[in-house]
Amino acid sequence: MKIVRLPKELQKLALQVRQSGRTIGLVPTMGFLHAGHLSLIDEAKKRADFVIVSVFVNPVQFGPNEDLDKYPRDFEHDRALCEEHGADVIFAPAPGDMYAADRSVWVEETQLSRGMCGALRPGHFRGVCTVVAKLFNLAQPNVAVFGQKDAQQAQVIRRMVRDLDFPVEIVTAPLVRDADGVALSSRNKYLTPAERERARVLSRSLMAAARGELDCDGLRKAIEAESDKVDYVVWFDADTLEAPGPDTKCILAAAAAYFGRTRLIDNILIQVKK
């Protein structure tokens, strides 16, 4: 497995791989890999000949009061896991090599990114779209794999790919949970044992909603009772990220809430019975 630090070096390597007739799978991550990320790498391995995992804590998707500096990092741990899961390359650039000091171009999705995390984290999805567009240009993937855990992000990226004609297939891999139901996230590391216990309300109540035992209001009340602050609870059409209508095939029930100082997100997809 090769470790590439420079963007132009990755692009050169990717073009050589494509010219040799092999397909490329890209798994964009911010590192501190867990089983959820590994399932994305495994999915990319099934779908492409050559797998690139990017490990880059993207500064431009963090707001001024967010956790950029304390976002967990452990490159050696990430390197070992990527190697174990058969990645061909880790791309781990320095922020200064990814972004010129006088950069002036952004990629912005303006519809699907308005609500949910986009409403509470201004500029977040602009930062995500910009780095993902750059990663697509550098890694030249045929297929890129994202996690359903970040349901809104996956939809925003699908829209970016559609509207800007990136020749990349987007695959969304299922959300992975720990044995206690908590969705895997690098930020779970911040939780105290008591906060973690309370955080179980997210998966518990989303699953109850999927069984038809809670509506959106009931979901909000259940999460409010256990969390320190609810950012949002939504019940949306999974494709449009708007209120469901007569054509809705699948509901996205999603929530973001704080446990202590840690903000967690979780969601579940509910097929609409017709």
Active site residues: 37
Strand 169-173 with 229-237, pairing: unpaired
Q: Is 155 in the site for ligand PAF (CB under 6 A)?
A: no
Tell me which stretch binds ligand PAF (CB under 6 A): 86-94, 113-121, 126-134, 244-252: 126-134
Residue 63 dihedral angles phi and psi, to the nearest 5°: -80, 170
Compute the least distance from the CB of residue 157 to ligand PAF, in Å: 8
Among 40, 128, 138, 223, binds ligand PAF (CB under 6 A): 128
Per-residue buried b or exposed e for 95-114, using 16+ beta carbons within 10 Å of the residue's own CB:
eeebbeeeeeeebebeebbe
Strand 2-4 with 89-91, pairing: parallel
Q: Is 93 in the site for ligand PAF (CB under 6 A)?
A: no
Tell me which stretch binds ligand PAF (CB under 6 A): 110-118, 125-133, 161-169, 236-244: 125-133
Please enumerate, as own/partner, the contacts of 117-121 that have beta carbons within 8 Å and a separation of 24 or more: 117/152, 117/153, 117/231, 117/256, 117/265, 118/152, 118/156, 119/232, 120/231, 120/232, 120/256, 121/63, 121/66
Q: By the 8 A CB rule, do 32 and 73 touch?
A: yes
Closest to ligand PAF by CB, 132 vs 223, is: 132
Among 7, 26, 61, 199, binds ligand PAF (CB under 6 A): 61
Among 7, 28, 36, 141, binds ligand PAF (CB under 6 A): 28
Among 131, 170, 251, 257, binds ligand PAF (CB under 6 A): 131
Q: Is 29 in the site for ligand PAF (CB under 6 A)?
A: yes
Binding site for ligand PAF (CB under 6 A): 28-30, 58, 61, 128, 131-132, 150, 153
